[in-house]
Structure 1
């Protein structure tokens, strides 16, 4: 930087002085920066902590830093849904940085052999409105790139330091825009100030309103996918995860609640986390900052940023800093500024590096022992591995296999047919996953159902059974069947091209890609039929039996102005991995003929989704994401306050996600009733499904008068309340639902039981009409996770999926979230059925006596 530019920058900063809060500190007092390395303020135009930087400003700083310093390597490892770059910085000595690719490529071998160097991965602000982490990363990066002291030089000589400076760029920018737009020249510390009352959706979530700190396992989003690829290459010893918590707090660092650590985590992991905690405590003590550990937060769910490393070979560390949720806010501990929050994040970044360097031999030894002990645990297990089948739906099977490969799991194609418990695992449709591999603990965590857990309180979900989530058959094997070489990627599918000359083409509805094919054809104006009965007919590949809901695409039914449907169908089938059969004739062997009234023409849906204040942005986001990325169709996002002034007749379907609807007035409630009676489909999920039961729609609910003879409740100690309350919750468990596969809402399923993901206390009311319950919870509902005995009894046999007709329309009540976190693939068809087939649900009232 020239003297003139430096002078102009200084003058600019002085010009902003009336706006300035105290700039962030946290860097060591003996920090001796190289003047040739730009500080964040020189690039941003303000001191860190005075404003919330936009992501493009953050990118600009790291670009300049990498250009100026030979200690820094900057990589763009991906891109968010919002088209913002995902960055990874590597810090090391110039000599080590010159050889960094060779070091990275050798990390898998070195990690198993117990060889260094120690690798520390630091991640910041996975929740965009917990923004002090991303700003702290700016200062930490400057410190590592510019400090001329011996400590940093030694770290860079003897470790590799990786930094993911902003894990959620889209959410970070959403939050920065809000707080900067509401910051005055003299910012208000009043908690009631608009700056601290962030609008909907808030910046915690990503582009589609998902919580990215729950996506380390399912890898639904590009942010997580990019990180997972780099974690596999680097195999870090320590992974940090910098967050914020409520304003009326101090600072938290792990270990968390000891009793709520995942049982698969080796004890030595927690010992090392405790040893690192000494360094965090010392750093914060020197600064006179308050903190705590071993409370509030747990280390249980595999898909969180501080737990995933624990079950894959590293030591994960969660940091939680009290949040100013803006620039300055009053708290129980005094006035808290954004700059002060940043400073603590900087301090614990430095303490992590200090501790990791001091404990490098222990960390390196631990990682090697982690992988050795995993194979020893597998050797002592009562099975040799798992067989995973594709359930006759290759795309669904491939989706899970690709996810497992992204996590570094060893997978082999089977080369002999195996039958277990009535299920066939055949070559080309099944894979072997050996138990004896480095990630045995990971596999146990995702594959083995849990019903007896050592804890009853969970910060997040209590189960994540991936095979059940994908509705795929999984069996343990005591002997490994014949199998091929381990695969690194799945080969492309060779889809047969159906005959171009056919009276009709058929698409089985049990295929994962069938719904987006149907959505596209309907949106483009083609006439598509769906069979309401099982259909057996002769095709170009012999006799075929197709499940209810299967599509019939007859070229003779299409309007002349449309492009030929055959080529378009073939194009969509290739894009979505769907097999298309060509019917030999319109006459079926059994079931309805192709022109039967039992194979009705479907109408194109026009769908609106209620969003806004009071609606769960997570649940609304799951639905929006599914429409946009799976169906590849638009959905109208209708603001809840606009419900009273919107012409709902524009829409065939209106979706109510989980939320608080009690504040809707009589007018809005009446509009919903009129929408249904006028022929609309109202889809309500989770607690919204319970709420719609209050609408004046003449439901025929079973009378369940409560017993009023209950006596005085059992006396309990005050200290028992927290645990007793936790037992009443369902934070996240997999439950078994018995489904009626003849019901339009369950078309495409072949088995009468399906695992769904359950959250919340709500229980749906049963109908007097025996035909409307498409799904009920099983008598023994728990498939995996925690469910108290009282809650299990309360849910047993109750309605889980119900469709009732009212006037010309339908109300669909879903007790659960069938699109949970974007990865509960097995439930997607239930949601698709509600969109495409709900208009086909007939009246089922028997004549009265």
Structure 2
């Protein structure tokens, strides 16, 4: 961006607290730089700005100041611009591109200037951060005091002013439409009680503060591209917490930090914390720093930097939510919450400047020590295979490249045990690289831990999440050049004129191709037994779940199916194989009763109060972005008889279903008994057992002791609860791959993600358990000894018949946070193949 030559007009302005919350009372400023009030018509903290207003102000600020460069680095799911601002002295900004391009090497060599990254309001309803960004942006652009001048002369400041554009807008609209000229401080006032889903989440109701690692969403991908260019030394992450809290800043609970984080990181975090404490003491604001929050899950904005070379710092402000709210600490006013975020933004810059040499040296030492750690663990790196489905492997590689990870294609075939890593379908990831700690975290499953309490999940094994083979090796094979972008698989050309076509179901996005065909009205069959067919390339075996599209049974009103298949094959990256004759070489023929025609599906997902927005959002996101199909969002509180008549499937995410009234439960029962399929996962799978569907469940044993339970210390309750609550763990499931819900999987073993201590009761039917937990169910993360024993051999996936319908119960979350791609086929099978599940009663049981 070309900058205008500006001659500042200096004024010393007395500033009322509301006009610039958190700033000194008197400031020397450049009056040619507009204040937020001059552009927006209100002061920060006076109202909640919409995202478009934030963008409008920052664009005008950048046009008026030679201290800031504004970039639009992408768009959110909702189409809102994602901004990044860079502040420095005009002289430094003139060469900012050169500084940024040299940051990787400068970080390794321990060269400055220090780079401070300030991030605000990743949760849209934690709005004080985004308004504080407006104050800080104006202060950095207009301030003429020595403090600001030194920051800009000696450091580079990068600001992400509104991390969650869609959530910020959703929350601002709610608050502004419910507040009056005299706002209520009653916590139960409608202004403080958002409708479902609230503004915390993004467009698809995901928590973006958990997306730094999986990078499912565009705003996360855009951020990381710039984050790794800048390699910042300090990263701030500004949040809010409950109204009955004060202000928190890290270091947090020391013993609950991820063991991969260097001790020096915690020491520097503590040194900078001294500046926050002094700033808040001076303002008479209470705070705390070593309780509640941890640094364990590396996918959060304050922890991800700790394993990638920076110092991440979490800030949590007790929230006013709206304009003002009662709390245990008195009235919480929005402008006061903004002020604290501003104060700690300033204290971060003061602390970073005071410890500039330490920060630069720490980053140099960080990258040097990575090589020592890799040597201590005696590994050259990892080999990743595609597991017979390149698309899932390409998705994982794309994720790794977002993290600036070096990935090489393998040039020679390597055999390790019974696993083959062949050229063209395998990749090598060296340990000797700057992302080593991150790779160690995502590839080395940990099952024994020193801590038993976690603020977030305890495991994030990415190879298992994508259901891909991965092996740690001491020597890397011959490899090609490092990848700069994820591979894109081009499927083989589809023969446009054939008797029939077969689509192997083990392919990622075969479900999207099926959905498109059914939606267009074509008839699609599915092989319920294995078969071997003749193809142009010779005889080929096809497993259960393979789709058959026979040209002879297609409706006359539709265009020929061959060209449609060719188009969909390229669109979804799915192989479609021509078959020259209907008689199979082995197994079932193409016209066999064992290759029935599938009925179209119409799905709805339960939403609204009581339903987990995260889990419901994962379903919506999967339908909209992976399956490329609509899903009806039905509000649970309004569900009545007849509302489900047009749908074949009702998907019920985890939630609090004990509060649902009888009419909702009755509507679901009528739907199932009338022929519908209920798909309940997570905690909802256990809740489904309470529906009046004539369950034939195995009775639970009852063991009672007259003396009652063993006495325990009250003070141990929280720790005991956390120990037995499965807060985020990867579990092994043994699959019955003959069952329609397990078709398309290459192995009997599948790893799924679990949150919650619920256990499914088995139905009294030996054929109904699609998957059971392995004898040793823990794949990665923390699982108490009690849960290990009690989950072993119990149902993980179960399908039962009720009337004319079916209930699919999945104890885990197959679509967890949008990145557990290994579970997506299970979910698709529940959608498309549950209709094939027949009654399974032996003659003597009838």
- Pairing 1:296–2:261 present: no
Residues 704/710 of structure 1: CA separation in 2 closer, same or farther (3 Å cut): farther
Q: Is the contact between residue 498 and residue 540 of structure 1 (CA under 8 Å) also seen in structure 2?
A: no
1:179 paired with 2:175, answer: yes
Aligned to 1:461: 457
Asked if 1 retains the 8 angstrom alpha-carbon contact of 2:239 and 2:317, the reply is yes
1:259 paired to 2:258: no
Does residue 225 (structure 1) correspond to residue 224 (structure 2)? The answer is no
Q: Which residue of structure 2 aligns with residue 121 of structure 1?
A: 117
Preserved CA contact (<8 Å) 1:21 1:50? no
Q: 1:517 aligns with which of 510, 513, 519?
A: 513
Residues 630 and 798 of structure 1, relative CA distance in 2, 3 Å threshold: same
Give deviations 1:571-619, integer Å, cap 9, x for gaps.
1111211111111221112221111111111111011111001111111
Determine the C-alpha separation between the residues in 1 that align with 2:243 and 2:314: 17
Partner of 1:13: none
Q: Does the Cα contact within 8 Å between 1:535 and 1:590 map onto a contact in 2? A: yes
Decide whether the 8 Å contact of 2:306 with 2:312 is kept in 1. Answer: yes
- Superposed CA deviations along residues 452-498 of structure 1, whole A, max 9, x for unmatched, are 11100000000000000000000111221111122212444343202
Contact 1:615/1:657 (CA < 8 Å) preserved in 2? Answer: yes
Question: Are 2:54 and 1:61 aligned?
Answer: no
Mapped contact 2:753–2:812 kept (Cα < 8 A): yes
User: How far apart are the structure 2 equivalents of 1:818 and 1:388?
Assistant: 22
The residue that corresponds to 2:7 in the other structure is none
Corresponding residue for residue 737 of structure 2:
741
Q: What do residues 737-783 of structure 1 show as CA deviations (whole Å, max 9, x unaligned)?
A: 01100000110012111000000011111111000100111111100
Residue of structure 1 in register with 2:671 after alignment: 675
Which of residues 442, 448, 465 in structure 2 aligns to 1:446? 442
Give distance in 2, aligned partners of 1:124 and 1:677: 49
Q: When the two structures are aligned, how many residues end up with a matched partner?
A: 830
Unaligned runs of 5+ in 1: 1-19
Which residue is 1:3 aligned to?
A: none
After superposition, what is the alpha-carbon deviation per residue over 1:506-541, rounded to whole angstroms, capped at 9, x for unaligned?
111001120111111111111111111122222122
Rounded to whole Å, the distance in 1 between the matches of 2:445 and 2:199 is: 34
Tell me, which stretches of 5 or more residues in structure 2 are unaligned? 1-15
Aligned to 2:187: 191
Q: Secondary structure at the match of 1:644?
A: coil
1:21 CA drift (Å) = 11
- Bigger drift between 63-72 and 22-31 goes to 22-31
More moved, 303-312 vs 788-797: 788-797
Is 2:624 the partner of 1:628?
Answer: yes
Supply the distance in 2 between the matched residues of 1:487 and 1:668 (Cα, whole angstroms): 52
Secondary structure in structure 2 of the residue aligned to 1:649? coil
Q: Deviations over 1:281-335 (max 9, x none)?
A: 1111111111100110000001000000001100000000000011100111111
**What SS is found at the alignment partner of 2:679?**
strand
Match of 1:285 among 278, 281, 285: 281
Pair 1:338-2:334 in alignment: yes
Q: What is the aligned partner in structure 2 of residue 607 from structure 1?
A: 603
Q: Which residue of 2 is the match for residue 554 of structure 1?
A: 550
Correspondence list, 1:42-191, <5 A: 42-191=38-187
Deviation at 1:192, TM superposition (A): 1.4
Label 1:512 to 1:682 Cα distance change in 2 as closer, same or farther (>3 A).
Answer: same
Distance between the aligned counterparts of 2:713 and 2:635, measured in 1? 45
Paired residue secondary structure (1:31) = strand
1:710 CA displacement: 6.4
- Which structure 2 residues correspond to residues 275-424 of structure 1 after superposition, within 5 A? 275-424=271-420
Distance 2:284 2:664 in 1: 54
1:685 to 681, 696, 707: 681
Work out the CA distance in 1 between the residues paired with 2:528 and 2:703.
Answer: 42
Q: 1:770 aligns with which of 760, 766, 769?
A: 766
Tell me what 1:9 maps to: none
| Cα distance in 2 for residues equivalent to 1:665 and 1:236 | 52
Residue 385 of structure 1, CA deviation: 1.0
Q: Is the 8 A contact 1:586 1:594 kept in 2?
A: yes
CA distance in 2, matches of 1:537, 1:589: 5
d(CA) in 1 for partners of 2:186, 2:17: 15
Q: Is the 8 A contact 2:623 2:631 kept in 1?
A: yes
Pair 1:722 & 2:689 matched: no
Q: Contact 1:254–1:318 (CA<8 Å) still a contact in 2?
A: yes
On the 8 A contact 1:541/1:581 being kept in 2, the answer is no
| SS of 1:231 mapped into structure 2 | helix
Give the corresponding residue for 1:476.
472
Q: Distance in 1 between matches of 2:835 and 2:29?
A: 68
Looking at structure 1, the residues matched to 808 and 738 of structure 2 have their Cα atoms a distance apart, in angstroms, of 16
SS at match of 2:184: coil
Higher mean C-alpha deviation, range 598-607 or range 467-476: 598-607
Contact 2:494-2:565 at 8 Å conserved across structures: no
Q: Is the 8 A contact 2:495 2:562 kept in 1?
A: no
Moved more, 791-800 or 626-635: 791-800
User: Is the Cα contact below 8 Å between 2:641 and 2:666 reproduced in 1?
Assistant: no
SS at match of 2:633: strand
- Contact residue 387 and residue 474 of structure 1 kept, 8 A: yes
Q: Is contact 1:24-1:342 (8 Å) kept?
A: no
Residue 56 of structure 1 deviates from its aligned partner by: 0.5
* Distance in structure 2 (CA, Å) of the matches to 1:276 and 1:21: 25
**1:505 correspondence with 2:497:** no
Deviation at 1:645, TM superposition (A): 5.0
User: Secondary structure, in 3 states, of the residue corresponding to 1:702?
Assistant: coil
Q: Do the aligned partners of 2:395 and 2:486 also contact (CA within 8 Å) in 1?
A: no
How far has the Cα of 1:501 moved from its partner?
2.4
What is the SS of the residue equivalent to 1:496?
coil
Shift of 1:711: 4.0
What is the root-mean-square deviation in Å for CA atoms of aligned residues? 1.3
Q: Which residue does 1:702 correspond to in 2?
A: 698
Query: Does the CA-based 8 Å contact 2:401-2:486 persist in structure 1?
Result: no
Deviations 1:373-430 (CA, angstroms, capped at 9, x unpaired): 1111112223211100001111111110111011011111111111112111000000
* Pairing partner for 1:536 from 528, 532, 535: 532
Q: Which runs of 4+ in 1 moved over 6 A?
A: none
User: Equivalents in 2 of 1:494, 1:215: separation in Å?
Assistant: 29
Contact map agreement 1:24 1:340 (CA 8 A) in 2: no
**Matched residue, 1:16:** none
How many angstroms apart in 1 are the aligned matches of 2:559 and 2:364? 60
**Counterpart pick for 1:236 among 228, 232, 235:** 232
| Corresponding residue of 1:834 | 830
Counterparts of 1:31 and 1:550, CA distance in 2: 71
Asked if structure 2 preserves the Cα contact closer than 8 Å seen for 1:65 and 1:142, the reply is yes
State the partner residue of 1:26: 22
Matched, 1:666 2:676: no
**Matched residues in 2 for 1:248 and 1:703: separation?**
44
- Residue 5 of structure 2 corresponds to which residue in structure 1? none
Deviation for aligned residue 1:23: 5.0
Q: Would you say 1:430 and 2:429 are equivalent positions?
A: no
* 2:406 partner SS: coil
Q: What is the rounded CA distance, in whole Å, between the counterparts of 2:375 and 2:542 in structure 1?
A: 43
Deviation at 1:250, TM superposition (A): 0.5
DSSP-derived class of the 1:95 partner: helix
Shift of 1:802: 0.5
Identify if the C-alpha distance between structure 1 residues 494 and 629 changes in structure 2 by more than 3 Å, giving closer, same or farther.
closer
Q: Could you say which residue in structure 1 is the equivalent of 2:590? A: 594
Deviation at 1:648, TM superposition (A): 1.5
Give the Cα separation in 1 of the matches to 2:490 and 2:147. 57
Q: CA shift at 1:567, angstroms?
A: 1.4
In structure 2, distance between residues paired with 1:646 and 1:215 = 38
Find the counterpart in structure 2 of residue 843 from structure 1.
839
In 1, the alpha carbon distance for the partners of 2:27 and 2:465 equals 51
